[in-house]
Amino acid sequence: MPSETVREQSPPPHPGRTALRLAVATVATGIVAGLGGALLALLLHGIQHVAYGYSLDRLVDTQTFLQGVTDASPLRRVAVMFVCGVVAGFGWWALHRFGRPLVGIAKTLAAPDAPMPPRTTLVHVLLQIVTVALGSPLGRETAPRELGAVISGWLAKLARLTPAQARLLIACGAGAGLAAVYNVPLGGAVFVLEVLLVSMNATAVAMAVTASVIAALTARLALGDAPLYVVPVLTDSTSMIVWAVIVGPILGVAAYGFSWAAKKAGAAAPRDGWRLPVFCILNFTTIGALAIYFPQLLGNGKSAAQLGFDTHLTIGLAAALLALRVAVTLGSLRVGAYGGVLTPSLAIGSLAGIVLGSVCGFVGVNLPTGAFALIGATAFLASSMNMPISAVVLIAEFTHMRHAMLVPIVLAVAGSVAAARLCKMLARKPCQDAPTQGASV
């Protein structure tokens, strides 16, 4: 009989050592993502201050971006947005032309063995921060999430984690980046579980909470602990609850339409050739011209949302900003710019809530405009990004609102999400029936 070859097999890793490596990698992810998020936020503030000439002596200041933009001359607004178009157009053209193909967070979570290219992603992150700082209407939240995902992917390799463990750590890194830049420790963790992983178990919860809390606490050392938005003291009422129930489905249908249009605009955007820089320059210069009369349009939408929460918007101005905000957001995606839609969606929902809430005034019901904005922002955000739980938690941490507002907000979110999902089901049905119509046998 032939002799059997005895193969030496390496012993399986000890469970305790594996758990220790995972725990150390999670803590390291939180610390580094927090530092990265803080640096990106400080870079954004610095560019804003230099571009529009305000608060040049300090990066973190009480003067808001809207105040700085409003004090800047109309010519400066147009000039800065022209520069924004040049940076966006030629920056992303060069990235597509000379860099490696971009890999999104969702794609790397689906295949952790195909990671995001570090150098290309870092340039992509910096371009998003620079353009948003100059006045792009897209959100800044994607940049710290991508940075956190790249960092956690590198840490997963360093810790020799399995593909499943690496997937968890990458998702936690993305959530930690969000938690750091917006000071939302719980919101970052819930975002990981509801949106990125779409699952929940003890290990995922522990890792997500640990990374997001550490990242937020780390970023606070540089950015402070102030809420992102300041809202007046609001309490619920029977009239407000009834309004929330009625308006929720309306906002859900609108959010579905916006989400559909945003995906179409991004998919149709040019990625190479002369159109990318030319279209970006035209788009952002046009936004700068509009900002001569509507300075609230500049930036990711935080300014418009804050005005809504402060009840400083008339119905006419809110309606005008709503239409323009939707147009400039979709237009920027269509010309090839990158950025998030979280903050723009929140701003659009806030403005839509104010416009829809004006009906109450016509029928003699007096409710605070800030409540319309808060409920509208949450309901629209929940449906446009398909994250009802994350939306409620994020708004709570963004604003530090009173718990009494949770009842109308949750009711509006429930109606909004139900209506958006119904729209999605109705949109899919014609697509499923289409092959039977006119198909050759």
Which of the listed ranges 20-24, 61-65, 226-230, 350-354 does the model predict with the highest average pLDDT? Answer: 350-354
430 or 418, which is more confident?
418
Mean pLDDT value across the chain: 90
Residue 224, number of CB atoms within 10 A of its CB: 9
Which pLDDT band holds residue 291 (cuts at 50, 70, 90)?
very high
Q: Read off the pLDDT of each residue in 330-359 and give the average, rounded to a whole number.
A: 94
The predicted model scores a pTM of 0.91
What ranges do the domains of the chain cover? 19-223, 238-428
Is 439's pLDDT higher than 60? no
Contacts of 227 (CB under 8 A, 6+ apart): 183, 397, 398, 399, 400
Check if CATH label 1.10.3080.10 holds for domain 19-223. Answer: yes
Q: Identify the weakest region by mean pLDDT among 142-151, 163-172, 227-236.
A: 227-236
Q: Read off the pLDDT of each residue in 256-270 and give the average, rounded to a whole number.
A: 95
Contacts of 172 (CB under 8 A, 6+ apart): 26, 29, 30, 152, 192, 207, 208, 210, 211, 212
Q: Read off the pLDDT of each residue in 237-244 and give the average, rounded to a whole number.
A: 91
pLDDT for 116-146, tens place per residue?
999 999 999 999 999 999 999 999 999 999 9
Q: Read off the pLDDT of each residue in 262-267 and give the average, rounded to a whole number.
A: 94
Asked if domains 19-223 and 238-428 share a fold, the reply is: yes
pLDDT for position 343: 94
pLDDT for position 205: 95
pLDDT for position 35: 97
What CATH code would you report for 238-428? 1.10.3080.10
